[in-house]
Structure formats: structure tokens, C-alpha cells
Amino acid sequence: MGSNAVEGQKKRIVLVHPRGSNWFKGTKDVIAAANRMIPHGILSIAAWLEKEGYEVFVHDCLGPQASADFQTNIQEILSYKSDIVGFSATTSSFPDSANMAAAVKKAAPTTATVCGGVHCSALGPSLLRDYPAFDYIVMGEGEITLAELASGVAPAEVRGLVWRKGDEVVENGPRPAIEDLDILPFPAYEKLKGFPQGYNLPLFSYAHFPGTSMVTSRGCLFQCSYCDRSVFKKGFRYNSAEYIYRHFQYLNERFGVRHVNIYDDLFTTDEKRIVDLCDMLSKRPLDMQFNCAVRVGYAPDKLLKMLKRAGCLMVSLGVESADPDMLKKHKAGVTVEKVQETVASIQAAGLRAKGLFMMGLPGETEDSIRRTSDFVLSLGLDDMNMAKFTPFPGAPLWKTIRDEGAFEEDWAQMNCLNFVFIPKTIGSKEILDQLYNVHVKRFYTSKDWLSKFKKRIWQHRHSIWHMVKNLPDFWAAKRQFEPKKKA
């Protein structure tokens, strides 16, 4: 590994969150106007590296103060004069990461380039063979792996690392999971320019401002057909209730944060930790609200009521489809009846209910899509998100996806906003797009949703003001979801 470090000085490391492709091909990327998320992974790694004594910088190419120009971002990355440049990549942002790594290598050949994230964890060695601008690929959790690499440990001794030995690509053994997540320092939020005001949560998902997001666990006990678990694998590790409370308190006191979205798939799986957390938030309130997600079967009435008292505003529930055969195939253990019961329980506890759905999975038909759309409206949800199914390399479906329909493996478009896969049972991409657009407009123009929205106008005042400030971008987004007229 090359080094720009002067003898005796701390190594300098810059961690990059690439722009990637976050919207529709051939159109202006406007997704950040509606939801600009913090880069959780690199903020956690940055905090760990700083604890270990390294000088760390974070460059968020999607940040509120970042340029959209590729070369401007490269110049800023180079200005840190770092020894290591690390990228965290999803499938859709990996091509951008590779291009940036190539530009960095051209300008500063001795700088070591590293890439990690879900895409790297799924494909590993093949990426190092195909993308020579990267010196290393990190598979799995990155905190300790990158710290060992930076410390000068021989690449052959670093678990979770893919590296080059001459012309040979070597994949080391897997990195053992960090069992006690409480040893990790809080993410390095202070390294984000414009945080927290410039990082907006999804519109109408909060009543207090500013807000941010948080992850309190790693791994999953389940394996849905479409989900890539390459980084954290199966299993369930989590921060303690005390740690989460202190994390909330830190965000509130240090940055003035008043709302947190918790992006855990299984937030309520360990009931005791949530009971303990709710007890702390109820007895020592922080003038904060939060949103979280639950899974069918893990949302007892008593717990939902405790969440409400602790400051929870909205609960999300993964549903995907209303077709029983689709659920059996892709989301075992979830049924239409259990979803109805859970949504009713969430709202009975005084919480908002948000449904998470997915269109275009293998086996999808026009009938199953219409059934799901009808079901969505029948639930009386407070909010809804419909993702476009995207096959990812580490998901169980990946091995057989080409047998299930037509798949355009264009990584830049694989962001759940484009239909890159068309099931055999759907006539064309145009049909899928039409059905999707009709569904989205149908939900957000329904009398039930509009009635809820009007009653919460004051709570939504910041979201509305944010829309006004970014009206051209939102207008462009709205046009993408207008039903296209058939020829």
C-alpha cells in the first residue's frame, strides 16, 4: 500500500459517499430534495478510525453543500492529501466509485484506494479483478478491517480483505462480526458539512425539525428472497437500550436533533430492550420524536402503546404484496390477515402506520399488482412506499433471476427506482411503469390520505416549506409518476 504520510504523522484517511445513480436514467437526479440521508456506514467507520488515532475526513458527494460536478468532487477529495481513500458503495453507486477511484489514482498514484459496502461484500474478488483502480475490497463490516489496514498490518493478515498479490487476487477469511455493538462510538456526524439541517428526512414523516436517521442493530433473523444480507449476514446484534438513549441524547444536545428515523428491520425483535428504552424515554424525556419499523408478529399491543408514550410518531411495516402466493414465495411468515391486524393495532395505539411494498417481484402479474393497490387503500395507511423490485447480487433470488424474466444488469440503474427486471408474467416494462405510476397517484390522491394530510397541515409545515424551496425538483419528480397515456 502506497503512503503519502510523513514519518511520525498520523495517517490521513478520507471516506467518500459517492453520488451514484439515484433517480431515473436520463433525467436530473432530484431524490435528495425529498430525502437526503446521512451515509451511516462511513460515519461509523470514521468514528472508529478517529478513536484509533487516525485523521479522518468524510466527503459526501450527495451532501447539501457538495457539487454535482465530478471533477470538483475529485479535487476536493485530493485536497485532503490523504494516504487512503475509502469508498462505500451500493450497486447503483459502485460505477461512480470506480470512476472516482480511477481519477484519484491518476492524480495521486501512491494513494491507496479501498471500496466496501453491500455490493463489494456480495461480489468481492471479481471487482478487484475487473476494476484495477481499487487496491483493496473490504467484505463485511468495515470498522476494524480498515483500521488494521491503515495500521500497517500485512494485507494477508487482515480478515475480510480482498487484495492483490502480484497478478493474483487473494480473498482472506471472513471478518468476525462485532458482537458487542456498544463498543462503537457514535457516528461522526460532525464530519458532515451542513448536518443536520441540510439532511432532510422523507417528507411528511416527521413533525419536529431538524431530524436524522439511526441504525441500532445489524443482521437479520429472516431471509426474504429479495434482500441482500452480504455485509451483516444472518443473526441479530444490537445496541443496548442505554446506548440508544445516550445516542438520542447526544444528537439532541450536540446538534439540536428533534426527530430520528430508526432504520432497523427488526427494531422490536428483542422486546426487553425496547421496553427498557421506552421506559427511559418516558421517565427522562428528551423533547424528541422517532419513527421505527416492526415486523408482523413482533408488535404486541402493549409494546406499541409504550412506543407511543416514549415519543414514537410513525411505525413502518414491511408488506411487499397482497397476493398470498407472492408472500409465500418472497416473505415467509407474513400474511394479508396478519398485516391487517398489525396496522389496526398500530393505529389503535395512536401511532401512524406506514406500509412498505414492492412491485415487480418474480411471479408478479397485473392482477397481483391491482390486488396489492386495492389492499393498500383498504388499510387506511398514513403513508406508503412502493419500491420497484431490483435484483441484488447477494440476494437469494440472484442465482435464478434470469430464469424468472428479462433482466438488464445495468448497475447504475439498480436503485429500486427503475424496473431493470420484468417478470415473465408481465408483458413489458411499459406496463409495469404504467401500473406503478397509477398506483402511486391513486394513493396520494385518495380521499382517506388527503383527509389525514389536511388534519396534519401544521405538523407538516416544515415539509411543505421544504417543497416550496425545491419546487422545480418536486415538479420534475411529480411528472415521473404521472400515468402515461397508452398509444
* Same topology between domain 12-171 and domain 201-480: no
Please write the tens of the pLDDT for every residue from 292-307. 999 998 999 999 999 9
The pLDDT value recorded for residue 4 is 44
* pLDDT reported for residue 32: 72
Residue in 458, 468, 441, 403 with CA at minimum distance from that of residue 209: 458
Q: Quick check: bond before 210 cis, omega within 30?
A: yes
Domain definitions of the chain by residue range: 12-171, 201-480
Whether the predicted pLDDT of 398 surpasses 80? yes
Instruction: Point out the least confidently predicted range of 1-15, 37-51, 198-212.
Output: 1-15
Q: What is the mean pLDDT of residues 413-422?
A: 95
- Is the pLDDT score of 2 beyond 60? no
Of residues 199 and 32, which shows the higher confidence score?
199
* C-alpha distances out from residue 177 to 83, 174, 237, 246, Å: 26, 9, 9, 23
Q: What is the mean pLDDT of residues 400-413?
A: 96
Percentage of the residues of the chain whose pLDDT score is greater than 90:
85
- The pLDDT confidence band at residue 472, using thresholds 50, 70 and 90, is confident
Q: Strands, DSSP E only, in 89-246?
A: 112-116, 136-138, 161-165, 168-171, 211-214, 217-218, 237-238
Q: How far is CA 198 from CA 65, 210, 217, in A?
A: 8, 9, 25
Distance CA 478, CA 233 (A): 37
* Cα–Cα distance for residue pair 383/385, rounded to 1 Å: 7
- Name the superfamily (CATH) of residues 201-480: tm_1862 like domain (3.80.30.20)
Check residue 265 and give its pLDDT.
83
Q: Provide the residue type at 270 as one letter.
A: D
Q: What percent of the chain has pLDDT over 70?
A: 94
With 80 as the cut, is the pLDDT of residue 330 above it? yes
> For the residues 252-259, what does the mean pLDDT come to?
98
Which CATH superfamily hosts domain 12-171?
A: Cobalamin-binding domain (3.40.50.280)
What DSSP letter does each residue of 399-463 carry, written as one string? Answer: GGHHHHEEE---GGG-SSSS--EEETTS--HHHHHHHHHHHHHHHHTSHHHHHHHHHTTTTTHHH
On whether the CB atoms of residues 120 and 113 are closer than 8 A, the answer is no
Amino acid symbol at 186? F
Mean pLDDT of 222-250: 91
Banded pLDDT at 480 (limits 50, 70, 90): low
377: helix, coil or strand? helix
- Tell me, what's the pLDDT at 122? 95
- Is pLDDT of 193 > 60? yes
- Averaged pLDDT for residues 203-216: 96
For residues 390-416, give the mean pLDDT: 95
Look at 65-69, 147-151, 237-241, 306-310 and tell me which has the smallest mean pLDDT: 65-69
All cell numbers assigned to 226:
429479495
Per the listing, cell 434482500 goes with 227
Backbone dihedral angles phi then psi of residue 249, each to the nearest 5 degrees: -60, -40
Give the least confident one: 111-115, 233-237, 254-258: 233-237
pLDDT, residue 8, reads 46
- pTM equals 0.94
Of 376 and 482, which is predicted with more confidence?
376
pLDDT digits (tens, 9 = 90+) for 432-458: 999 999 999 999 999 999 999 999 999
DSSP 157: G
Averaged confidence pLDDT in the chain: 93
Average pLDDT over residues 10-16: 93
CB 144 within 8 A of CB 122: no
Apex 370 CA angle, 369 and 375, nearest 5: 100
Beta bridge partners of 170: 163
